[in-house]
Amino acid sequence: MGEKIGLIAGGGSFPLLFAAEARKAGREVYIVGLDGITPKEIEPFSAETRYFKLGNIGGPLTYLRERGVKKALMVGNIPHVNIFGGIMPDLRAAKLLFKLRDKKARAIFSAVSEEFAKDGIEIVSSATLLEHLLVKPGLVAGKKPDADTLKTAAFGWKAAKALSAFDIGLTVVLRDQTVLAAEGMEGTDECIKRAGAILKRLGKGPAMTVVKVARPDQDMRFDLPVAGAGTLRTMAEAGATTLVIEARKTLILGMEEFLASARETKITVFGAENETSFQ
């Protein structure tokens, strides 16, 4: 019998990817699913899946504790609308939210992880068992960016870091060192589409560059930046030719498909660690 691990699973492909890797590694995965959010396709990869309403903390804790789980991950998307009224907290969650001065997602996740720790369950890095999918520094796909693109990317890096420091978004889209769009609640792909619409109004010019970073104090336990083939296809449709992502802190969801999409769209993907990466 493999080591037990818990998974608090949001939406999207990230939870599916982890559950499949964990099962391949011989782990027993006990999944806390969220009603209406967690994809049902995850169930075959788990030892057991139990669904709870978003905002329920006591139930998932009891479920994982009774099954002897000592470590767990929190991965996947939770629609932002839930932060503004879709949550029906149980008593334990209500007490936690009442104590919070900061209601940003990062503060909520940190408080939830502390609550799990009280019950002997450690929330671990969301890159656990997926370290091989973290972006490496340097050229990942495509041709080496030219000098003008690197200048634009360096400017975009500073802008994205400033944006992420305020917990607003992680992505900026630029053309010729000018920010066309900055990510808000809509997510990376919608931000790129918005920039593409602006580019069409501006007319011909240099292609767009997309820069996506981690937060300055990124907590590896939750809300890691992710990228996938879908983002590259969105970029191609919008008129972007270069994707710069932060190395060692960004996960590629489906590496083979991602690289195939990069070849198909002829998009350059570059992993940067800091501002000196563009020199």
Give the domain CATH number at 108.
3.40.50.20
Q: CA-CA-CA-CA torsion for 40, 223, 243, 186, nearest 10 degrees?
A: 70
Q: How far apart are CA 30 and CA 89, in angstroms?
A: 22
What letter represents residue 125's amino acid? Answer: S
Whether residue 104 is found in the same domain as residue 191: no
pLDDT at residue 93 in the model:
73
Residue 171 carries which DSSP code?
Answer: E
Measure Cα distances from 222 to 124, 127, 219 in Å: 9, 9, 6
Q: How confident is the model at residue 4 (pLDDT cuts 50, 70, 90)?
A: very high
How far apart are the C-alpha atoms of 257 and 70, rounded to whole Å? Answer: 33
3-state secondary structure of 140: strand
For 16-32, the pLDDT digits (tens) are 999 999 999 999 999 99
Residue 190 DSSP class: H
Q: What is the DSSP string of 16-39?
A: HHHHHHHHHTT-EEEEEEETTTS-
Q: How many CA atoms lie within 13 A of 222 on its CB side?
A: 22
Residues 188 and 103 in one domain: no
What is the extent of the structural domain holding 93?
4-123
The mean pLDDT value for 73-78 works out to 89
Tell me: pLDDT of 103 over 70: no
Q: Is 157 left (phi over 0), alpha (psi -120 to 50) or beta?
A: alpha
Q: 267 and 136, same structural domain? A: yes
- Residues 236-266: tens digit of each pLDDT: 999 999 999 999 999 999 899 999 999 999 9
73, 107, 123 - which closes a domain: 123
| Same domain (yes/no): 37, 168 | no
H runs (alpha helix) in the chain: 14-24, 58-66, 91-99, 105-118, 147-165, 188-202, 229-238, 255-265
| Nearest C-alpha neighbor of 228 from the set 253, 193, 198, 192 | 253
Residue 87: pLDDT band (50, 70, 90) is: low
* CA distances to 50, 180, 279 from 112, in Å: 18, 35, 40
pLDDT tens, position by position, 220-241 = 998 889 999 999 999 999 999 9
User: Which of 123, 158, 185 delimits the end of a domain?
Assistant: 123
Domain endpoint, select from 98, 123, 148: 123
- The CATH number for 197's domain is 3.40.140.80
Q: Quote the CA–CA distance of 99 and 96 in Å, as a whole number.
A: 5
The reply to whether 148 and 74 lie within a common domain is: no
Tell me how many domains the chain contains.
2
- pLDDT at residue 81, rounded to an integer: 44
What b/e readout covers 112-141, taking b as 16+ CB neighbours within 10 angstroms?
A: bbebbeeeebebbebbbbbeebbbeeeebb
Place of tokens 């002997």: 120
Are 182 and 211 a contacting pair, CB within 8 Å? Answer: no
Name which of 129, 181, 168, 147 is nearest 7 in CA terms.
Answer: 129
| Contact present, 270 and 242 (Cβ < 8 Å) | yes
Residues 160 and 67 in one domain: no
